């Protein structure tokens, strides 16, 4: 079975390539990355700030069920070309991980399908491999369970 | 990239092992056949002792296994360990896959409001 989301992590290189095809027009795919409400829904995090423009900054925060902050990340936008391209930094706060540079490219495949390529550059090979290995999704997933319940109430089932 | 494998205190980590291009080439070479150290070395311009050192490292981190056949020692891939490497990015991939599935749902819902 073809995997929808592909991750290429060549050994010995301090980068990653994540690609994914969506059954969405590319405008909607792009919008999902620029509107705080939408980002919050699919990333499963609270969006404290999202200034989707060149030189704008963003900050996300995720809390556990008790309200303790378990994850906070921030960054800035460097390039911002609507419907085409976003270049941004990503930094996890209070973590040993250095800031990473992310190049997002949005591409129309047809009227109703699109592709996202995320090219992520790390400070070192070791940091990339460490990030891949750590169960870092845990922080986000705690909130994710709650989110699914909320989303399940709000959203009609997808046909 | 050059290899500093002569430092014996190098951590014998699988991912460190495969970060070296010569060692990756050795793994590729052994993908379909078992070979002796001599036969492997014949494929590289690198000095024989250097190739031996690479083989030692790959064996220490269990990517390669040795098998005695008569007077010769053959090296072959440890399939399980190689599979571990392939599985290594799977949790990360799955996380993004789930996120993107949600993105698709959220946006499809916007597209066709009730």
Residue A122 has pLDDT above 70, yes or no: yes
Q: B105, A38: Cβ pair inside 8 Å?
A: no
Nearest CA in chain A to B92: A132
**Residue-level pLDDT at A159:** 37
- Which residue does chain B place closest to A45, by CA atoms? B99
Q: A143 pLDDT exceeds 70? A: no
In this predicted model, what pLDDT tens digit does every residue of A48-77 receive, in sequence order? Answer: 999 999 999 999 998 777 777 778 899 999
Contacts of A5 in chain B (CB under 8 A): 93, 96-97, 100
Complex ipTM value? 0.79
A31 close to B (CB below 8 A)? yes
Please provide the average confidence, as pLDDT, over all residues in chain A.
83
Q: Is A85 exposed, middle or buried (0-12, 13-18, 19+ CB in 10 A)?
A: middle
Query: Please, are residues A120 and A16 in contact by the beta-carbon 8 Å criterion?
Result: yes
Q: Which residue of B has its CA nearest to A35?
A: B107
Give the count of alpha carbons within 13 A of B66, CB side only. Answer: 15
Is pLDDT above 50 for A38? yes
Q: Between A17 and B114, whose confidence is greater?
A: A17
Spatial neighbors of A127 by CB under 8 A, at least 6 apart, are A14, A97, A98
B19 contacts A32? CB cut-off 8 A: no
The distance from CA B64 to its chain's CA centroid, rounded to whole angstroms, is 10
Sign of CA dihedral B33, B38, B40, B43: negative
pLDDT of residue A17 exceeding 70: yes
Segment A128-144 shows an average pLDDT of 54
Give the torsion through C-alpha atoms of A118, B19, B46, B42, to 10 deg. Answer: -90
Token pair listed for A106: 């949005």
pLDDT band at B5 (very low <50, low <70, confident <90, very high): very low
Nearest-by-Cβ selection for B92 from A4, A24, A132: A132
Specify the pLDDT at position B15: 66
Q: State chain B's maximal CA–CA distance in angstroms.
A: 76
Nearest-Cα distance to chain B for A109, in Å, is 15
Residue B46 pLDDT level (bands cut at 50, 70, 90): confident
Q: What is the mean pLDDT of residues A108-130?
A: 92
Q: Are B104 and A24 inside 8 Å of each other by CB?
A: yes
Q: How far is Cα A109 from Cα A151, in angstroms, rounded to an integer?
A: 28
pLDDT of residue A19 exceeding 90, the answer is yes
**Per-residue model confidence as pLDDT tens digits over B78-96:** 988 877 776 777 778 888 8
């Amino acid at each position: 079975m073809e995997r929808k989301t592909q991750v290429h992590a060549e050994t010995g290189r301090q980068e990653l390539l994540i690609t994914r095809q969506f059954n969405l027009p590319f405008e909607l795919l792009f919008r999902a990355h620029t509107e705080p409400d939408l980002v919050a829904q699919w990333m499963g995090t609270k969006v404290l700030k999202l200034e989707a423009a060149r030189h704008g900054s963003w900050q996300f925060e995720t809390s556990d069920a008790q309200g303790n902050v378990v994850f906070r990340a921030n960054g800035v936008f460097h390039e911002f070309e609507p419907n085409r391209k976003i270049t941004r930094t990503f930094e996890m706060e209070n973590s040993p991980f250095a800031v990473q540079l992310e190049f997002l490219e949005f591409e129309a495949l047809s009227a109703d399908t699109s592709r996202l390529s995320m090219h992520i550059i790390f400070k070192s090979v070791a940091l990339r491999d460490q990030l891949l290995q750590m169960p870092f999704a845990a922080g986000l997933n705690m909130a994710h369970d709650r989110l699914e319940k909320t989303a399940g109430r709000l959203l009609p089932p997808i046909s | 990239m050059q290899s500093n494998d002569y430092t014996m205190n190098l951590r014998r980590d699988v991912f460190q092992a495969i970060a070296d291009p010569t060692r990756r080439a050795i793994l590729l070479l052994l993908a379909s056949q078992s070979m002796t150290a001599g036969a492997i070395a014949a494929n590289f311009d690198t000095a024989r002792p250097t190739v031996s050192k690479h083989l030692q490292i790959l064996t220490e981190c269990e990517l390669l296994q040795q098998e005695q056949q008569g007077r010769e020692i053959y090296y072959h891939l440890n399939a399980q360990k190689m599979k571990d490497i392939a599985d290594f990015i799977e949790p990360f991939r799955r996380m993004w896959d789930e996120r993107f599935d949600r993105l698709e749902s959220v946006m499809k819902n916007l597209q066709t409001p009730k």
